[in-house]
Amino acid sequence: MSKTYYIETLGCAMNVRDSEHMIAELTLKEGYEEARSPEEADLILINTCSVREKPVHKLFSEIGQFAKRKKEGAKIGVCGCTASHLGEEIIRRAPYVDFVLGARNVSKITDVLHRPKAVEVDIDYDESTYAFGEFRTSLYKAYINISIGCDKQCSFCIVPHTRGEEISIPADLILQEARKAARSGAKEIFLLGQNVNNYGRRFSSEHPKMDFTDLLKAVSEIEEVERIRFTSPHPLHMDDAFLEEFARNPKICKSMHMPLQSGSSRILKAMKRGYTKEWFLDRAARLRETVPGVSISTDIIVAFPGESDEDFEETMEVVERVRFEQIFSFKYSPRPMTPAAEYEKQVPDEVGSQRLARLQGRHNEMLDEMKSDRLGRVYEVYFEELRPGGLVAGRTDNNWLVQAEGSEELLGRTVPVKIVETSRLGSRGVVVA
């Protein structure tokens, strides 16, 4: 009988890909198979996120739950960003944890598995050329890492301390992976990095000069690739060449993530983001001008230390002007090892909650206005997933989720769909023959 694993993945798309990498190592090198539940598993992995405080607090009660539910002799491993950040402390606070594996050490999964109480959390470890085995959750969409770590020092962010310095993955490895995935049916390639448009600043060995715009061109030259997405780009590095390639290249999906964080230049400076409100508005306006129908998503933090009512109004002004199609908004959460956690003038929690409610309320109104525009129109949808009730789900080029009646034969295909119903979260459509 093979051994089995159960894995819970929190956090961002990088974590999703890290989980796929760990599954590949476990299945190919150790013969593991997926368990149906944590109770049945021989190995329980929790791939954690530490970007905000709340999930880190919840982690220990969650580990406790798994420890109660697990079968006799099963192991528990804590991986990912909180593993990098807390290291040995995890085993001290939760002695039933068998090993701790940091976000930059996932290739060591089959090693720590056999070393009781192993802690591998070195953030200088270089996995940029490690040849992971093949495992993909989706047959139709392939996540591909293009860099590890992050060189930015945003004053609120813990990631440089959990994923270390930024190293780009050699382009030939990325292209090889993209070719292989696309030929096996994953016609959508999703390029991943903490700061994708900083690609090419540092490789771990000699490498021909190449930036993110060059990489996008090279991936789009692979014949079997139909769609290219990427996350996350940084507004500071959205130069003209990048925006022109984005507009011009028909394989690049027309949805852009532009993490604003704040609309106040004063707060952006304190956040060490490197751009101003004016730069952000200029880049967004240029995108809207050159890419008809583009959708722009963003991340916003409210109640950063020192954020006044006026600063928050500036954020609201940017929201009005850009009309983002999607906003991920968060109340500032002080993180260890980050300069902002030491700043004076932390904003009271109730003020943060009020600002968040106002931002989300206004954005919901804007979404209600936008969604009615989609009704009755026809969009090209790439179907990726079966859903209960005889439905298939996919996305339009500009990243709207659409469900339609249908079955397997629609998966991996791009077909025209007429939108018949819309809500804030997604749309219903019918396939147009």
Residue 333 interacts, among ligand SF4, ligand 5AD, none and using kind-specific CB cut-offs from 5 to 8 Å, with ligand 5AD
Q: Amino acid identity, residue 199?
A: Y
- The span of 2-10, 64-72, 216-224, 327-335 binding ligand 5AD (CB under 6 A) equals 327-335
> Does residue 117 contact residue 88 with C-beta atoms inside 8 Å?
no
**Residues 31-60 interacting with ligand 5AD (rule: CB under 6 A):** 51-52
Does residue 15 bind ligand SF4 (CB under 6 A)? yes
Long-range contacts of 359-365 (CB under 8 A, 24+ apart): 359/300, 359/302, 359/315, 359/316, 359/319, 359/327, 359/329, 360/327, 360/329, 362/316, 362/319, 363/319, 363/324, 363/327, 363/329, 364/424
85 versus 335: smaller Cβ distance to ligand 5AD = 335
Taking the CA atoms of the chain, what radius of gyration do you get in angstroms?
22
Does residue 22 bind ligand SF4 (CB under 6 A)? no
- Rounded distance, CA 92 to CA 88, Å? 6
As measured in angstroms, the least distance from the Cβ of 12 to ligand 5AD is 6
- The span of 9-17, 204-212, 243-251, 382-390 binding ligand SF4 (CB under 6 A) equals 9-17
- The span of 136-144, 167-175, 330-338, 354-362 binding ligand 5AD (CB under 6 A) equals 330-338
String marking each residue 386-405 x if it binds ligand SF4 according to CB under 6 A: --------------------
- B/e letters for 159-196, b = 16+ CB within 10 Å, e = fewer, are bbbbbbebbbbbbebbbebbbebbeeebbbbbbbbbbb
Distances (CA, A) of 406 to 185, 186, 370, 378: 19, 19, 26, 17
Does residue 189 bind ligand SF4 (CB under 6 A)? no
As measured in angstroms, the least distance from the Cβ of 152 to ligand 5AD is 11
Name 311's Cβ contacts closer than 8 Å, sequence gap at least 6: 262, 263, 264, 266, 267
Does residue 343 bind ligand 5AD (CB under 6 A)? no
- The span of 155-163, 169-177, 264-272, 306-314 binding ligand SF4 (CB under 6 A) equals 155-163
Residue 282 interacts, among ligand SF4, ligand 5AD, none and using kind-specific CB cut-offs from 5 to 8 Å, with none
231 versus 295: smaller Cβ distance to ligand 5AD = 231
Q: List residues binding ligand SF4 (CB under 6 A).
A: 11-12, 14-15, 49-51, 80-81, 103, 159, 162-163
